[in-house]
C-alpha cells in the first residue's frame, strides 16, 4: 500500500514545472490532489487555466484532483485552497508550498514594491496556506508540510535579495513549526530544488528554454522524489533536502563552541579572540528538535 493512498495533498503553484511534477506523483500514488495555481507569469502578472490542465492530466490517468486558482498571497485565497480540499475530500494531510514568483534586480535597483511582492508570495503565501491547514493536521495527529527554499537563500545569489530573503526565511519557519508540530506527528521540512522551469529560464543568463523540454539532467521530475520522501509515513522533520538532476543531499546549521568572556566582556577582549569566535573547524550540527547538537 502506498504511503499516499487516500491522503489529501495540496500543491501550490502546481500548474507547471516542479509543482506539476509533485502533483502528478502524489496522484499516481493514490493521493487526492488539490492543484493550486493562479496561472500567472513568473513575475506574478495575469491569470490562466494552468491548474485545470494539470487536473485533466491527472484524471485522464485515473487519478483524483481538483483545481484551485486562488493567489496564495491573499489570505482569503490561501484559506480557500484548504477549504476546497476539505469540501471535496474531507481533510488535508499534506501541504507542499511551491508557488513563487521572481522580481530579480540588484538590491540597489530593486524597488520596495518588488521586494514586498516576492516576500508576499513566497513567505507569506506559504505561511497563509500552512496556517489554514495546521489545525486540521493538529487535530488528526498527522500532517506533512514542505516549504520550498533555494540555494539563493541558503547560500546567496546576486540580484535576488527579495527571493533569497524569502527562501532563507523558509528555514526559520520550518524549524519553528517542526518543533511545534512534533507532539502531533506533523513533520515539516524544506526543499532546495534545482531544475529547468519557467522560473529558472527567466533568470538572466539562464541556459534553459522556457518553451522547450528541460534537459534530462535538469528535469523537474527528478526533484519530486525528495518531496515524496518528506511527505511519507517515515518522513524526517526539520531537514533541508537539496534535489537536482538525480542528486540528493542535505544542508544544516552548524555551531562552534565559541568563547565566554563573562559579564565584564569588552570590545577589546573580543577583538583579541575573534579568530576563536569565528573558527568552525570543530563545529557540530545543531538539531532544532532536540535543542542541541547531534
Residue 55 grid cell: 487536473
Q: What DSSP string runs through 96-115?
A: EE-------B-TTT--HHHH
Q: CA 189, CA 142: separation in Å to the nearest integer?
A: 14
Residue 11 grid cell: 500543491
Q: CA 122, CA 29: separation in Å to the nearest integer?
A: 27
> Would you give the DSSP letter of residue 246?
T
Q: Is 181:188 a contact under the CB 8 Å cutoff?
A: yes
CA 33 to each of CA 148, 149, 281: distance values in angstroms, whole numbers, following the listed order: 18, 22, 46
Residue 24 grid cell: 502528478
Beta 254-255 vs 284-287: how paired, if at all?
antiparallel
Q: Is 67:48 a contact under the CB 8 Å cutoff?
A: no
Q: Is 149:191 a contact under the CB 8 Å cutoff?
A: yes
**Which residues are identified as catalytic?**
163
Residue 152 grid cell: 539563493
Q: CA 140, CA 91: separation in Å to the nearest integer?
A: 9
CA-closest candidate to residue 134, choices 99, 76, 94: 94
Amino acid at each position: 500500500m502506498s504511503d499516499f493512498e487516500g491522503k489529501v495533498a495540496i500543491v501550490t503553484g502546481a500548474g507547471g514545472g516542479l509543482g506539476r511534477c509533485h502533483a502528478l506523483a502524489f496522484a499516481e500514488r493514490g493521493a487526492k490532489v488539490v492543484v493550486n495555481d493562479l496561472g500567472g507569469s513568473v513575475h506574478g502578472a495575469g491569470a490562466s487555466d494552468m491548474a485545470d490542465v494539470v487536473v485533466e492530466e491527472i484524471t485522464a490517468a485515473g487519478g483524483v484532483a481538483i483545481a484551485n486558482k486562488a493567489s496564495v498571497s491573499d489570505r482569503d485565497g490561501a484559506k480557500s485552497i484548504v477549504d476546497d480540499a476539505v469540501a471535496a475530500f474531507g481533510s488535508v494531510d499534506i501541504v507542499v508550498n511551491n508557488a513563487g514568483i521572481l522580481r530579480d534586480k540588484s538590491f540597489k535597483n530593486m524597488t520596495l514594491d518588488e521586494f514586498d511582492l516576492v516576500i508576499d508570495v513566497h513567505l507569506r503565501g506559504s505561511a497563509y496556506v500552512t496556517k489554514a491547514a495546521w489545525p486540521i493536521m493538529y487535530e488528526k495527529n498527522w500532517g506533512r508540510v514542505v516549504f520550498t527554499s533555494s540555494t539563493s537563500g541558503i547560500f546567496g545569489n546576486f540580484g535576488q535579495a527579495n527571493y533569497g530573503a524569502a527562501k532563507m526565511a523558509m528555514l526559520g519557519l520550518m524549524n519553528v513549526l517542526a518543533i511545534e508540530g512534533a507532539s502531533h506527528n506533523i513533520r515539516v521540512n524544506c526543499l532546495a530544488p534545482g531544475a529547468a522551469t519557467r522560473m529558472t529560464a527567466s533568470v538572466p543568463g539562464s541556459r534553459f528554454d522556457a518553451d522547450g523540454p528541460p534537459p534530462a539532467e535538469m528535469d523537474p521530475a527528478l526533484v519530486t522524489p525528495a518531496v515524496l520522501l518528506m511527505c511519507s509515513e517515515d518522513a524526517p522533520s526539520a531537514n533541508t533536502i537539496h534535489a537536482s538532476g538525480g542528486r540528493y543531499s542535505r544542508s544544516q546549521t552548524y555551531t562552534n563552541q565559541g568563547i565566554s568572556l563573562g559579564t565584564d566582556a569588552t570590545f577589546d577582549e573580543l577583538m583579541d579572540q575573534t579568530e576563536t569566535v569565528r573558527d568552525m573547524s570543530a563545529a557540530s550540527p545543531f538539531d532544532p528538535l532536540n535543542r542541541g547538537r547531534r
